Amino acid sequence: MTTVTAQAQRFREFRMPDVGEGLTEAEILKWYVAVGDTVHDGMVICEVETAKAAVELPIPYDGVVREIRFDEGTTVDVGTPIIVVDAGGDEAGPETVPAQPAPEPAAAEPAPAAEPAAKREAVLVGYGVAPSSTTRRPRKQPPAAPVSAPLNGHEAASPAPPASPAAPAAPESQAVPAAPAAPAERPLAKPPVRKLAKELGIDLATVVPTGPNGVVTREDIRAAAAPPAPLPAAPLTAPAAAGARETRTPIKGVRRATAQAMVASAFTAPHVTEFVTFDITRTMKLVQELKEDRAFVGLKVSPLLLVARALLVAIRRNPAVNATWDEDAQEIVQKSYVNLGIAAATPRGLIVPNIKDAQDRTLPELAAALGELVATAREGKTAPADMQGGTVTITNVGVFGVDTGTPILNPGESAILAFGAVKLQPWVHKGKVKPRHVTTLALSFDHRLVDGELGSKVLADVAAILEQPKRLITWA
């Protein structure tokens, strides 16, 4: 009985966690470890892609990798064991580790109360756990024992002379299975450090602590926030065989989630799209001036920044446009905050992270948030929480040289603004035809929430601000 318990504690299975809210599966993009590698609590072992984002998974215990159960590119259901770790060290033998734990006999004697096993709290990666102990006990190393004893299902006997032969192996049917993986503990960090991690969008569960007793420090957060080298982009199409006339690509991950969301939105919310073409020359001049302003040193200033600010001002002047249709409650929920989504094209597909409480940010703060959002999205490191709770969205189709479009709403949002290409065109200015910078905006909105008058006012306000950017001051 003692050997069975020791064996169960020795081999740990790490199961695919739910890294979002209610996700059922994830694709393994890349393994960072191999069989025989040593891992430690909090170490990132692989990167997976869910329907929302690519996420790195840390392992919650120490040991040596004994088995990797799925290859890269495999889609695995949440809760399925993906890796087995020998928590007893690197002296593991060659036997295969069973996947399911064996039931304890009814008459089994209780384990000694003097040395209870360390208890871990249930956790979803990226979402924390219930409060637990504020310190970690030092790990207790198991006593040295012959390798054959725990692997063959026999209790460890009294020390024998070196010349004694090893105990005979038991039949394969008596092999002791491994215990289920224990969930990870809540990362230890002081409140100011947790606040810093939240501000920087860092998941504490993915940070390797360097403080005393495994406490995450400010330096650990800043190190985790440093942009990593971008990973090779997952191919959007499978390689075609020589001479092949068709190439098939599995629909999964971000691309499948985007398709499902767009279909649901298009056939749920009645869409209306309106357009306006106008002279944006003054805004383009303001962009150049802001680039030389000391307040924007180190920040990216682009026309999109001023489009975002103009939309926020228009929403302040027409707050009813910032709402959600609650079908279950049969209510229109108007929001006093704006979580501004920015559609971003990434190698893995289109994602829409959003800037929380964008209405409260100064122009330099909005520029910093936009720059960080776009850089994180292109690296494939956008956290699932950053793509939830959006209220309105901007999609910049102009970067592709496109004049305009009819964008589809993100599910649950009331409006989406498409910003077209800025082109030098002949335009009547002060009674004369002159070359001016001209662009087109398109606003799609949910006609259940936004009628034609309200939608027109919002679109006209955005265009008026960008045509005369001094209105950013007078109208704000």
98 versus 287: the higher-pLDDT residue is 287
**CA distances for 283 relative to 279, 306, 387, 467, 468, angstroms:** 9, 8, 29, 7, 7
Taking the model in full, what pTM does it have? 0.57
- Helices vs. strands in the chain: H and E counts, helices first: 10, 21
Q: What architecture is the 260-474 domain classified under in CATH? A: 2-Layer Sandwich (3.30)
User: In the structure encoding, which two tokens stand for residue 426, read together?
Assistant: 């002949």
The pLDDT of residue 291 = 94
| 25-31/75-77 β-pairing | antiparallel
Indicate whether 422 pLDDT > 70. yes
Task: State mean pLDDT over 49-71.
Answer: 86
Minimum mean pLDDT range among 157-161, 300-304, 390-394: 157-161
Per cent of the chain over pLDDT 70 is 72
The pLDDT of residue 404 = 94
Q: Which of 154-158, 191-195, 344-348, 411-415 has the highest mean pLDDT?
A: 411-415
Indicate whether 426 pLDDT > 90. yes
Measured CA to CA, the distance from residue 219 to residue 90 in angstroms comes to 32
Q: What architecture is the 187-225 domain classified under in CATH? A: Irregular (4.10)
pLDDT band at 22, cuts 50/70/90? Answer: low
The pLDDT of residue 122 = 40
Residues annotated as catalytic are 447
CATH number of 2-186: 2.40.50.100
What are the residue ranges of CATH 4.10.320.10 in the chain? 187-225
Minimum mean pLDDT range among 137-146, 208-217, 449-458: 137-146
371-389 per-position pLDDT tens digit: 999 888 888 788 888 888 9
Indicate whether 368 pLDDT > 90. yes
The pLDDT of residue 131 = 42
Backbone angle region of 55, left / alpha / beta, with phi > 0 → left and psi within -120 to 50 → alpha? beta
Q: How many beta carbons lie within 10 A of that of residue 96, not counting itself? A: 10
User: In the structure encoding, which two tokens stand for residue 225, read together?
Assistant: 């926030």
Q: Which of 250, 244, 251, 207 is nearest to 225 (CA)?
A: 207
Indicate whether 1 pLDDT > 80. no
202 versus 176: the higher-pLDDT residue is 202
Minimum mean pLDDT range among 14-28, 64-78, 143-157, 354-368: 143-157
113-142 per-position pLDDT tens digit: 444 444 444 433 333 444 444 344 444 444
Minimum mean pLDDT range among 65-79, 167-181, 229-243, 445-459: 167-181
pLDDT band at 3, cuts 50/70/90? Answer: low
Per cent of the chain over pLDDT 90 is 43
The pLDDT of residue 241 = 62
Residue 338 CB partners (closer than 8 Å, separation 6+): 312, 315, 322, 357, 358, 359, 391, 392
Q: Return phi, psi of residue 459, to 5°.
A: -65, -40
Indicate whether 177 pLDDT > 70. no
Per the CB < 8 A criterion, the answer to whether 63 and 88 are in contact is yes
Identify the bridge partners of residue 439 per DSSP, sorted by sequence position: 278
Sign of CA dihedral 142, 144, 147, 152: negative
The pLDDT of residue 2 = 53
Measured CA to CA, the distance from residue 443 to residue 398 in angstroms comes to 14
Please give the mean pLDDT across all residues of the chain: 78
Indicate whether 219 pLDDT > 50. yes
What letter represents residue 371's amino acid? G
The pLDDT of residue 127 = 36
Q: For residue 314, give the H/E element and its range.
A: helix 303-317
What are the residue ranges of CATH 2.40.50.100 in the chain? 2-186
Indicate whether 167 pLDDT > 50. no
The pLDDT of residue 307 = 98
Question: Which single residue is written with the structure tokens 């073409």?
Answer: 277
249-275 per-position pLDDT tens digit: 787 777 777 787 788 888 788 999 999
